[in-house]
Structure 1
Amino acid sequence: MRTRYLHTICFSLFYITTFSQVDIAKDFINQGDFIVLEGSIVSSDYFFTNASTGNFENRGTLYYYNDFKNDNLFYPGGTKSSKVYFNSSKDNAPQLIEGLKLSEFYDIEFNNSFLNHGFNLSNEITVKGNSSFVNGVVNVLDNEGMITFLPKSTTTQVSDVSHVDGYVEKKGSDSFIFPIGHKGYYRPAIISALSSEKDLYVGKYQYETPDFFTNRLAKSGVITNLDTKEYWEIKRSDFNSGDIMLTLSWDERTTPKELLVNPEKKLHIVRWDAKQQLWVDEGGVVDLEKKEITTPTSVKGYGFFTLATVNTDLILDGDIVIYNLVSPDGDGKNDYFIIDNINRFPNNTVEIYNRWGVKVYDTKSYDSAGNVFRGYSDGRVTINKGEKLPTGTYFYIVSYEYKDANGSRMIKKSGYLHLESNK
């Protein structure tokens, strides 16, 4: 039997325009219009459902001590006074946050100590104000749940015992600390401020997933030791207007100890380049006090990131790294003469000579408009322009203008590269 009244709900003041139906035994089900006025407090020990016909507007304070399900409209009503507390009273089980429709919150608090796994989130929720992580990990179910932090939203009290395990989405131009972790470790990622409120990024952290690295061990020559215990995933919308500087951190509990010898000199952020199928250096500025490392400029791509040590002897001023193998066979690996970060210094020239000293390639502003060396003779004064060059050893000269606090100067680097052209 279903009864038309609210069961064990404590309040100071609330207003219902279309009365809700409530199961006297286990459920609190809203099937109409429910408005919690500013200054009011409503709490429920029962399984809450906002049904497909429900319209739930919260301008006051809500306490949910049991599971939460939203199948229609649930929103804060345009007021900063809206607060929702998930404080589970369930025994030996995580609190469920689910439903078919988006749930919108202003301020929200998570507080459930069940085995550090306090919440299972299987629907999409947004946070406009602050999200407080007091106790309990929020487990976001893949392909079902998502927490989206809207412009100017914040997080507080994030820790090992309370964070998000799964994907977190961030909208807006302000810098943001992703409250992410895995297996009981809070391991945030920080993105710098952006230019548009429409920019959107997604972050996730993973620890001890060895299968991930099974086919991702190849690394560029400048990288010496790779952190294969953990990684971060940072993705961006195709419609974003700018790029980020990324900050990650190390933790002696999760980061291999061999990476932490002289971190201020050798530790960098690296990114998995899906096209080349290898880890590439994104650089790094180390803060020893905070145990953080930040890319010196905007990242050159997105996807998977981790930490690594690098051979600094191979890194030129401006984080320029020159790779000396070209194998243009279309496999996405070393298909052209790669010079990391050269496009940061557009006043540059690249010249390549064969073993007899004959110039076979030259260009200005290398890699600015597809002008890269792919194993073909090309340039203003090269011989046999457009001809495929034979396998062998070649000689390069790279020059670029570098500016720092001491002024501007030209840097020139020369060396050998090997071309494997199957000719």
Structure 2
Amino acid sequence: MNKYILNTCIASLFYASLHAQFLNKGELYIASETEVSVYEDSFLNSDALISNNGDLFLFKNVLNNGSIGFDNNISNGTIYFIGEEKQTISGEGETNLFNVEFNNPSQDFAFVLEKELNIYGTSFFQDGVILEDLNGILTFRNGSSYEGYSDNSYANNKARKIGKNEFLFPVGAYKEDVFVARPAGISAPDEETCQFYVAFNWENSDVNYSGDQKEITVGLVDMNEYWVINRESGSSEVAVTLTWNSVTTPGFLANYPENIIIVRWDGSKWIDEGGEVNETENSITATVSEYGVFTLARKNLNLDEDSGIDFDASGSFSPNDDGMNDVFQIPGLAEKYPNFIMKIYNRYGNIVYDYSNNGKTNPMWWDGSANGKRGGDGGKVPTATYWYIVDFNDGKTKPYQSWVYLSK
């Protein structure tokens, strides 16, 4: 087996053939304060080894069937993925990195990760989103950290953490041309070997987790996004932190953070896990009863104790133009609170009615048209239960929230 030791300041390695590549069949040791740059695709055979204690710059694809690591006694090597075209990281070999930097300005996904990367030091997210396939994942080992996490650079859509330190997982997702970082966190486990997995999904949760099935204290559920948080090993109990974001989180949550709770799907319904809200960080933290699928929801609490309005008289309506109960109206609301504001949401958190009364004595009550647009059945929403919020807009009375059933 060939063995190479590099301890010069700068080295450039390449292997030229019909298909340009760097081919490592032996052992390559990169000493501290040594820079090595590989400008072509890198291939490591099953018996190959790279031990990096310096700075290794990789500009193109990497297929590792051997072993990439570092000297535990030195622990200062950094591998830089810094190409200008999409880079694929694959292979069946073990890849242990002390520090790693992702810095690739390619549009969409700059990196395609088809294997596990174990990070022991710091991961620097400079530029480029990492697309993780079925087997691809970033695993942060005990004591590891990251910097630079943003909408421009994150792990799409999962990450793993092993160790005792608290951790905010640098995950996110995309939809069409929109890329967004959507972190979730855990408090510090008691065990160094404890292992947690987090994945963020920017998709309709109602497909598998019905928003209608929930505990009585749970109001409207965020059905635009959800997280999977699993304890894969160990027995430590941790608190869970979720975040909200105006890009992915519905307005009935993002605009009313004081009423947000964490909910967990228990296999048949959404369970109220409660939580303490931090509006500065756009986050909520709860000591949860189990792990699994989580999302955000509104509290289902009656907040109108001092309003003096009988909301029970307005539980349903049928906008079928028969002249009877064709609009959703709340008796006495405009007279007592002439500047009230009302917003109505469908089960997916989309606003279907957004109305400010502005002192009028004859409000434009909701007739079932989407976004308040009148003009025929084409604009009418379907039969369903809708969530509404009334802001009394008087500077003292708390908003009221409840359900109204629309039938045809």
Identity over the aligned pairs, expressed in percent?
30
Does residue 86 of structure 2 align to residue 105 of structure 1? no
**Structure-2 separation of matches of 1:177 and 1:127:** 15
Letter in 2 for 1:51: N
Q: 1:159 aligns with which of 147, 150, 153?
A: 150
Q: 2:184 aligns with which of 189, 198, 205?
A: 189
**Structure-2 separation of matches of 1:158 and 1:287:** 20
Shift of 1:260: 3.4
Does residue 290 of structure 2 align to residue 301 of structure 1? yes
Q: Tell me how large the CA RMSD over aligned residues is.
A: 2.4
Query: In the alignment, is the contact (CA less than 8 A) between 1:76 and 1:104 conserved in 2?
Result: yes
Letter in 1 for 2:266: D
- After superposition, the C-alpha distances for 1:221-257 in whole angstroms (9 at most, x for unaligned) are 11111000001110102x4121111111111111111
**Structure-2 separation of matches of 1:292 and 1:240:** 26
Partner of residue 77, structure 2: 82
**Structure-1 separation of matches of 2:118 and 2:207:** 30
Shift of 1:89: 3.0
1:63 to 1:212, Cα distance in 2 relative to 1, 3 A: farther
Partner of residue 195, structure 2: 200
Q: 1:147 aligns with which of 138, 148, 154?
A: 138
Shift of 1:125: 1.1
- After superposition, the C-alpha distances for 1:293-343 in whole angstroms (9 at most, x for unaligned) are 111xx21111110000012459xxxxxxxxxxxxxxxxxxxxxxxxxxxxx
- After superposition, the C-alpha distances for 1:73-125 in whole angstroms (9 at most, x for unaligned) are 110121222000000133xxx21011112211000000112114110000111
Partner of residue 54, structure 2: 60
Q: 1:27 aligns with which of 21, 27, 35?
A: 21
Query: In the alignment, is the contact (CA less than 8 A) between 1:10 and 1:42 conserved in 2?
Result: no
Letter in 2 for 1:225: L
Which runs of 5 or more residues in structure 2 are unaligned?
304-408
- After superposition, the C-alpha distances for 1:349-399 in whole angstroms (9 at most, x for unaligned) are xxxxxxxxxxxxxxxxxxxxxxxxxxxxxxxxxxxxxxxxxxxxxxxxxxx
Deviates more, 1:201-210 or 1:184-193: 201-210
Q: TM-score, normalization: structure 2?
A: 0.68
Shift of 1:166: 2.5
Q: 1:244 aligns with which of 233, 238, 244?
A: 238
Moved over 3 A (4+): 20-25, 209-217
Partner of residue 351, structure 2: none
Q: 1:270 aligns with which of 263, 278, 281?
A: 263
Aligned residues: 294
Letter in 2 for 1:251: N
1:88 to 1:103, Cα distance in 2 relative to 1, 3 A: same
Query: In the alignment, is the contact (CA less than 8 A) between 1:104 and 1:126 conserved in 2?
Result: yes
Query: In the alignment, is the contact (CA less than 8 A) between 1:21 and 1:31 conserved in 2?
Result: no
Letter in 1 for 2:269: L
**Structure-2 separation of matches of 1:82 and 1:225:** 49
Does residue 109 of structure 2 align to residue 117 of structure 1? yes
Shift of 1:209: 3.7
Shift of 1:50: 1.3
Query: In the alignment, is the contact (CA less than 8 A) between 2:14 and 2:21 conserved in 1?
Result: no
Counterpart secondary structure, 1:53: coil
Does residue 118 of structure 2 align to residue 126 of structure 1? yes
Counterpart secondary structure, 1:194: coil
Q: TM-score, normalization: structure 1?
A: 0.66
Letter in 1 for 2:289: K
Query: In the alignment, is the contact (CA less than 8 A) between 2:224 and 2:250 conserved in 1?
Result: yes
**Structure-2 separation of matches of 1:127 and 1:41:** 20
**Structure-1 separation of matches of 2:120 and 2:180:** 26
Shift of 1:127: 0.2
Which runs of 5 or more residues in structure 1 are unaligned?
315-423
Query: In the alignment, is the contact (CA less than 8 A) between 2:205 and 2:226 conserved in 1?
Result: no
Structure with more relative contact order (C-alpha pairs < 8 Å, separation 6 or more): 2
**Structure-2 separation of matches of 1:55 and 1:88:** 22
Counterpart secondary structure, 1:118: strand
Partner of residue 174, structure 1: 165
Query: In the alignment, is the contact (CA less than 8 A) between 1:116 and 1:161 conserved in 2?
Result: no
Shift of 1:219: 1.2
**Structure-1 separation of matches of 2:14 and 2:100:** 25
Counterpart secondary structure, 1:258: helix
Shift of 1:21: 9.3
1:261 to 1:73, Cα distance in 2 relative to 1, 3 A: closer
Partner of residue 349, structure 1: none
